[in-house]
Amino acid sequence: MTSVALTIAGSDSGGGAGIQADLKTFQELGVFGTSALTAVTAQNTLGVHGVYPLNASEVEKQICAVMDDFPVTAVKTGMLFSAEIIRKVVQTLKYYQAPALIIDPVMIAKGGASLLQNEAVKALKEELLPLAAIITPNIPEAELLAGMKIETAMDIEKAAELLLEAGADAVVMKGGHLDNQEFAEDLFMSASGKKFKLRSERIHTKDTHGTGCTFSAAITASVAKGKRMEEAVRIAKDYIHVAIKEGLHLGKGHGPTNHWAYRSYKAEIKEVVLLD
């Protein structure tokens, strides 16, 4: 049986993030990808030059069209843009008793452009997050959602605990924004008490556009195929590590990652370390 995943996110005209990155990742990991578009962006490796949101009912109709016809086994949300869209997504997913929800709380683009309206943060935290099988914030996103400054390992764990208390079943705290120049280390914590870290060599490159979208899409693909959340996170860490390492060197700014690298190099990946 073919596994099917749904991504609800914005479009990236540069192809490195958003819906485009999600669908590429689904395809590479053997999952049929469907989509519901929340906004069109005029975007390239140099930045976001325009954001053009759809209205909430248009987003709803796309989700309904997919859920009425396809056996979706995992859903991912990315850029949702507004509180109205978030509330409509929540309402629609509840109606369909949607399967595992992976939330990538997209808020700010690599170049600094805001991708989530201020009033939407509250809706994301209070209405969408309680539906999450897992949420995958980077440090700035976690600071905003948890309402605290994150500077130390203890801060990271505290913020993760706050997100679990807010209703998520599990959290991956992505460490790419931390100052450690040697490693990129992510923390997994679940409401059931499971906790581990995933560490990989830090790759010093400017080609990191779409890493968050790609990582969460990789989790979604594995969950859609029936893998346990812990295993899905480990596969996603391998996938994004090699996607960054084997960069494509495209564009004049923050270039995209290599979405097909995992297919070629997965047998050779030995650099991601599990720390219990």
Summarised one tens digit per residue, pLDDT across range 130-163 is 999 999 999 989 998 999 999 888 999 999 999 9
pTM confidence score = 0.93
Annotation says 112 is catalytic: no
Question: What is the CB neighbour count within 10 angstroms for residue 30?
Answer: 13
What angle (nearest 5°) sits at the alpha carbon of residue 191, between those of residues 189 and 192? 100
Q: Please, which pLDDT band fits residue 209 given cuts at 50, 70 and 90?
A: very high
Q: How far is CA 40 from the centre of its chain?
A: 18
Catalytic residue among 10, 16, 78, 210: 210
Q: How far is CA 194 from the centre of its chain?
A: 20
Annotation says 47 is catalytic: no
Annotation says 167 is catalytic: no
Contact 48, 13 (CB under 8 A): no
Annotation says 211 is catalytic: yes
Annotation says 208 is catalytic: yes
Summarised one tens digit per residue, pLDDT across range 23-80 is 999 999 999 999 999 999 999 999 999 999 999 999 999 999 999 999 999 999 999 9
Catalytic residue among 7, 34, 41, 211: 211
DSSP-based three-state secondary structure for 213: helix
For the chain, the maximum distance between any two Cα atoms, rounded to a whole number of angstroms, is 47
- Confidence check: pLDDT of 112 > 60: no
The DSSP line for 192-219 is TS-EEEEEEEPP--S--BTHHHHHHHHH
Catalytic residue among 34, 73, 208, 220: 208
DSSP-based three-state secondary structure for 35: strand
